[in-house]
């Protein structure tokens, strides 16, 4: 059983299929040096913790190997006389390419299940069989298609005990100042239980409020498959709050479907004409954005949360993305790469297409001329300034009315908080002017 993005025992069809195929299984995770080199320190540390949690649930029988996947799988198969290799199917560009390379070497992979309730490519327009390009009709068809109930957790796992040479658990320390949620399947279920009891029924009202615990905080657990979306969907009812949460799960699956059909959009524009827009080169303003020193409190609080916790509230993800693209006139890939470095819950499809949605160049995109006002967004979704004061302590002396625009007050910047690096009103007009230029040079299809 080759574990990848499914580090759990419950609701894992591939694991059940492996157990049904033989008297014993060899559970293995292969450390991918290429992915490791492209992964930030917080996400690596989280993965290391998740692997140890999985190993504990397997009674210390997880094989953790280092090396080329083909060589590792052939070596283990030969050593243990394995008759089949089981995986959950993957659909992201890198995973698809990796698995194709493994199979081209003569290794057969048995695919059962995937990280999604509905695998990418399954939901298509009934009229012509083409993929959906817009979220709302996709969501309706996705709901009609439906999904299987959660698979049971195996009562007993007959696993081969690895040798010491097969126990290469990585020693990736969590950065000292990082505050990252606890990894592992058990912690995923603890959080899910708390969310159901304390947050879910008011999710539609709390999910946008950055200063409170009003979201599921399950995205890191989703990233490594410590809990499956089917497990969550099985508990949802028909209330407005439950439906809004179900739609958030569907957004993740929609973006996975879009990337599956358009793998180039991991790095490239979904709407190609936006590559012709006039963008600025990254400079000191980009550095200020990364460090949370733009002079806009709501933006800076979010960026500091990202760097210190490896997570950012979804509302503020949109705000900081809009600020980068529309106020600083930088290409979305710069921000997406920074998110890739710091997010523990980094998901290729959600990251690329979440950024493109805000940048106005993706599928089902927010129109380019929709530009988030970083001041008004803070006033609306952090009314009392609690979120800002938590991550920007230089402003903790200000009142709720003052904290969103500290430059207006005599004592506002006394603790060293920076001046604004741009004038939002002027940059908004500049963005719209650049959009007009693009319309002039790009003929409509």
> pLDDT tens digits for 249-270?
999 999 999 999 999 999 999 9
Token pair for 92? 């992201």
Note the pLDDT of residue 441.
Answer: 64
Per the structure, the count of domains in the chain is: 3
Contacts of 274 (CB under 8 A, 6+ apart): 359, 360, 361, 368, 438
- Residue 442's pLDDT band (boundaries 50, 70, 90)? low
| 323 close to 427: Cβ distance less than 8 angstroms | no
Q: In this structure, are 217 and 354 located in the same domain?
A: no
Q: In this structure, are 307 and 373 located in the same domain?
A: yes
pLDDT tops 70 at residue 118: yes
Note the pLDDT of residue 44.
Answer: 93
Q: In this structure, are 426 and 298 located in the same domain?
A: yes
Note the pLDDT of residue 40.
Answer: 87
At which of 67, 92, 114 does a domain end? 114
Q: In this structure, are 215 and 316 located in the same domain?
A: no
Classify residue 239 as exposed, middle or buried by CB count within 10 Å of its CB (0-12, 13-18, 19+): middle
Q: Which of the 8 DSSP states describes residue 2?
A: E
Domain CATH number, residue 342: 1.10.579.10
Q: How far apart are CA 147 and CA 138, in angstroms?
A: 14
Q: In this structure, are 251 and 288 located in the same domain?
A: no
| 168 close to 63: Cβ distance less than 8 angstroms | no
In the beta sheet, which residues pair with residue 28?
2, 63
Question: The domain containing residue 208 runs over which residues?
Answer: 116-150+188-261
* Domain-located, residue 156: no
Q: In this structure, are 328 and 380 located in the same domain?
A: yes
pLDDT tops 70 at residue 20: yes
Q: How far apart are CA 366 and CA 370, in angstroms?
A: 7
Give the pLDDT confidence of 327-338 residue by residue, as tens digits.
999 999 999 999
* Domain-located, residue 159: no
* Domain-located, residue 240: yes
- Residue 227's pLDDT band (boundaries 50, 70, 90)? very high
When the pLDDT of each residue in the chain is averaged and rounded to a whole number, the result is: 95
Average pLDDT of span 51-62: 97
Q: How far apart are CA 252 and CA 91, in angstroms?
A: 13
First to last CA, the chain: 48
Classify residue 248 as exposed, middle or buried by CB count within 10 Å of its CB (0-12, 13-18, 19+): middle
Q: In this structure, are 232 and 290 located in the same domain?
A: no
């Amino acid at each position: 059983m080759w574990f990848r993005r499914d580090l759990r025992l419950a609701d894992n069809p591939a694991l059940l299929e492996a157990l049904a195929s033989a008297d014993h299984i060899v559970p293995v995770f292969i450390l991918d040096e290429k992915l490791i080199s492209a992964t930030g320190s917080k996400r690596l540390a989280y993965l290391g913790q998740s692997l140890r949690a999985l190993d504990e649930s397997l009674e210390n029988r997880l094989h953790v190997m280092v090396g080329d996947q083909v060589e590792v799988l052939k070596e283990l198969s030969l050593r243990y006389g394995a008759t089949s290799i089981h995986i959950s199917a993957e659909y992201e560009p890198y995973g698809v390419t990796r698995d194709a390379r493994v199979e081209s070497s003569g290794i057969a992979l048995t695919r059962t299940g995937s990280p999604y309730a509905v695998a990418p490519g399954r939901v298509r327009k009934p009229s012509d069989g083409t993929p959906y390009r817009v979220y709302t009709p996709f969501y309706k068809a996705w709901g009609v298609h439906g999904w299987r109930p959660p698979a049971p957790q195996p009562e007993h796992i007959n696993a081969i005990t690895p040798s010491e040479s097969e126990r290469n658990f990585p020693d990736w320390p969590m950065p000292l100042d990082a505050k990252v949620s606890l990894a592992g399947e058990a912690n995923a279920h603890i959080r899910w239980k708390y969310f159901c009891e304390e947050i879910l029924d008011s999710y539609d009202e709390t999910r946008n409020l950055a200063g409170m615990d009003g979201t599921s905080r399950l995205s890191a657990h989703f990233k490594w498959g410590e809990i499956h979306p089917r497990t969550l969907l099985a508990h949802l009812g028909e209330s407005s709050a439950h439906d809004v949460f179900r739609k958030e799960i569907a957004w993740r699956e929609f973006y996975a479907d879009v990337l599956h059909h358009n793998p180039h959009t991991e790095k490239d524009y979904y709407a190609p004409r936006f590559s012709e827009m006039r963008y600025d080169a990254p400079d000191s303003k980009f550095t200020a954005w990364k460090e949370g020193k733009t002079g806009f409190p709501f933006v800076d609080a979010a960026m500091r949360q990202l760097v210190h916790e490896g997570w950012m509230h979804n509302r503020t993800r949109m705000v900081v993305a809009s600020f980068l693209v529309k106020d600083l006139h930088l290409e979305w890939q710069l921000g997406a790469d920074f998110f890739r470095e710091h997010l523990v819950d980094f998901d290729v499809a959600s990251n690329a297409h979440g950024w493109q949605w805000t940048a106005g160049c993706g599928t089902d995109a927010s129109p380019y001329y929709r530009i988030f006002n970083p001041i008004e967004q803070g006033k609306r979704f952090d009314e009392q300034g609690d979120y800002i004061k938590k991550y920007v302590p230089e402003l903790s002396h200000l009142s709720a009315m003052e904290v969103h625009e500290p430059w207006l007050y005599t004592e506002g910047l006394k603790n060293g908080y920076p001046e604004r690096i741009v004038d939002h009103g002027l940059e908004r007009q500049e963005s719209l002017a650049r959009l007009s230029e693009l319309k002039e040079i790009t003929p409509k299809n």
